[in-house]
Structure 1
């Protein structure tokens, strides 16, 4: 993989870290670790009250990326409108696949999880683990959609919910 160019991300940029979703670069700092100077992106995930430090030269390898383009967001929303694709595999195997998609940081894959796990009111109840995965995927999708579109998270969440409910009708 190629190394991240120093100027690729700047403080105040919103970025996506695969395992944690949307965060904001607070600063770029230097630290000495084991006698080596390291330049680090300091990324704040306000909702999770977490700060992550990622070496600038390893950022791309770690999967750090800019927010999705408007086209990618539109594609993700279109994905939500599709028919749920539920494989007949055992739940543990499917749960593992959903988890991988959520942690991939790929907005389309995350939208697929939301689509596949969404339940209309008249459908069967979700298990606890299904609900956990659904909510994790929905939160990631909502945060990135809100950040890209400049909307409040509640508004973005409502728009996503409307798409999901509209598809079931």
Structure 2
């Protein structure tokens, strides 16, 4: 099996050095375009590095569309994702196992907006009840995928992208209302304590 790095650095609109989104793995960078001979057939492959996972994937150029690989979102897509996380969480009243499958499917779709829906729906503020282990894992996976793409689009660190996401989550109307109620409750308890002491 011979491997020859290709001189041409672009295939189907994808070029070396470019960041892309591979649905089941998230954001990766195309490091090369290779040609391999497999069973007498010549195959062109995109070599994609997923640095955070320390993984390299070789995707046949002919399979780019069928695997759902896409270019990074643009600033408008990031803005829409932030609007989504600021929205009201939508939690279906179905069994957790079914919801977990739906969340997993959204995360692996590679669609930034679907991933931001999972982040929105599974986010828990400090005033809310604890998450189960599996909820927490799905939330972290969605947050990680979302942060990686936002960091690549906005050319910032993932830590900065997570901060931006969390700031937007805190602006959700239902979360602002809950925070105001918690604050009012704390003030009421404080004034009750002062009256008792008097």
TM-score range relative to shorter protein: over 0.9
How many Å apart are 1:57 and its aligned residue?
A: 1.3
How many Å apart are 1:127 and its aligned residue?
A: 0.4
Q: Distance in 2 between matches of 1:159 and 1:71?
A: 15
Alignment counterpart, residue 22 of structure 1, candidates 10, 15, 27:
27
Alignment counterpart, residue 93 of structure 1, candidates 91, 94, 98:
98
Q: Distance in 1 between matches of 2:19 and 2:97?
A: 33
**What TM-score, normalized to structure 1?**
0.95
* Matched length: 165
String of CA shifts for 1:82-122, please: whole Å, max 9, x gaps: 01000000000000000000000000000000000000111
Q: Distance in 2 between matches of 1:7 and 1:116?
A: 35
Matches within 5 A, 1:9-158: 9-158=14-163
Q: Distance in 2 between matches of 1:7 and 1:66?
A: 11
* 2:89 counterpart SS class: coil
Higher mean displacement: 87-96 or 147-156 = 147-156
Report which of the two structures shows the higher radius of gyration computed on alpha carbons. 2
State the Cα RMSD in Å.
1.0
Higher mean displacement: 36-45 or 154-163 = 154-163
Q: Cα–Cα, structure 1 residues 96 and 7, in superposed 2: closer, same or farther, change >3 Å?
A: closer
How many Å apart are 1:156 and its aligned residue?
A: 1.0
Unaligned ranges ≥5, structure 2: 1-9, 177-198
How many Å apart are 1:53 and its aligned residue?
A: 0.4
Q: Distance in 1 between matches of 2:39 and 2:79?
A: 45
Structure 1 stretches of 4+ with a deviation exceeding 3 A read: none
Q: Distance in 2 between matches of 1:6 and 1:14?
A: 14
Unaligned ranges ≥5, structure 1: none
**What TM-score, normalized to structure 2?**
0.81
Q: Distance in 2 between matches of 1:10 and 1:73?
A: 22
How many Å apart are 1:7 and its aligned residue?
A: 4.5
